[in-house]
Amino acid sequence: MPRCICWIRCETGWISRPPAARQASLKLVEDKANGPAVIAQLRHYVSGMVPVNPKDSKAARVSAISPFVEAGNVFLPSPTREPWVAGWIEECVTFPAAAFDDQVDAMTQAITRLLLAGGTTDFMEQLVHHMAS
């Protein structure tokens, strides 16, 4: 199973949707605003939460991963198979003017972490295998 990365959004009601997040072995929580409170509140219910403190702006983080995305190294399931993909793509193409940018932000964190880990090939092979099944 690939090492999954999940971004926990600090929203009321998140705990009512935990199954997908609990499948991820690592959950990155921004260590600003109410992030530390979220970790403290959920640590008994959700394992693997790690505080992160992004160094650059969201726009700079998007620019940093853009070559990886433009090279075709980000694979998505078909929106007909996974309905969330259409909204995710819409958020990406309207960034930075989108009403919401949480998924874009999560993508930058995930891709950056995968690239720095140096395990993208193995991760991608496992992800493709998982999506095909």
Block means of pLDDT (10 residues each) for the chain, 133 residues, are: 38 44 72 87 84 89 90 87 89 91 88 72 54 54
Tell me how far apart the alpha carbons of residues 51 and 42 are, in angstroms, rounded to a whole number. Answer: 13
Give the model's pLDDT for residue 121: 52
Give the model's pLDDT for residue 59: 93
Upper half-sphere CA count for residue 118 (Cβ side, 13 Å): 0
CB 28 within 8 A of CB 5: yes
Q: Rounded to whole angstroms, what are the CA distances from 89 to 79, 81, 98?
A: 9, 14, 11
Give the model's pLDDT for residue 54: 85
Give the model's pLDDT for residue 126: 54
- In 10 A of CB 28, how many CB atoms? 22
Give the model's pLDDT for residue 91: 92
